[in-house]
Amino acid sequence: MPKHIRQQAGSEALHTATGRTHDEWHEVLVAAGASGWKHKQIAEHLVAEHGVDGWWAQGITVDFEQRVQGRQPGQRSDGTFESAVRRTIAGEQLAALELVAASVAERYGEPVARSMTLRTPTIRFKSGDTRVIVDAQQPKASGTSVGITVAKLPTAEALAEAKSWATGVLETCRDGRG
């Protein structure tokens, strides 16, 4: 299961970057009346009114939504869930991408889009509302980091299942059984 945002970016790192801890930002946002605001409005407020870097503003916003608005770990601001898993696969970038995409296609059918000339090429799949993106980063000596992102999942249970499935696909491909 995904971790709460506080487990991913501790208060010490947040304080170093923004001058405040999670709890202090919580107090600032409650005082500003952000309890009923949407994600975008909270993040924009942090940037515009408090000079918070956009990346940190996103984390502060997610933490606030999880504590105050009931947003669950892995849940997007639109209420759906998203899982992302990465593993290093032996081989060159496009070969590793194609290997993983072939395994994804067994479950999701033919890809709906390919962006193969990007620095990080992607292959996209769609099944109903669910979106799957397979990407491959620039290779390193140890191999190519390939990710599977499964988005627009309806429930936390679907998220857990998607994460387990994606992990299995990547482990199989990493072990050369793709």
Spatial distance between the Cα atoms of 137 and 152, rounded to a whole number of angstroms: 23
- Residue 76 inside a domain? The answer is no
The percentage of the chain sitting over the pLDDT mark of 90, rounded to a whole number, equals 71
Domain containing 163: what range? 81-174
Confidence at residue 20, expressed as pLDDT on a 0 to 100 scale: 92
Is 85 in the same domain as 63? Answer: no
pLDDT digits (tens, 9 = 90+) for 83-111: 999 999 998 999 999 999 999 999 999 99
Report pTM.
0.74
Task: Count Cβ atoms within 10 A of the Cβ of residue 70 and give its class: 0-12 exposed, 13-18 middle, 19 or more buried.
Answer: exposed
Is 93 in the same domain as 144? Answer: yes
Please, are residues 87 and 17 in contact by the beta-carbon 8 Å criterion? no
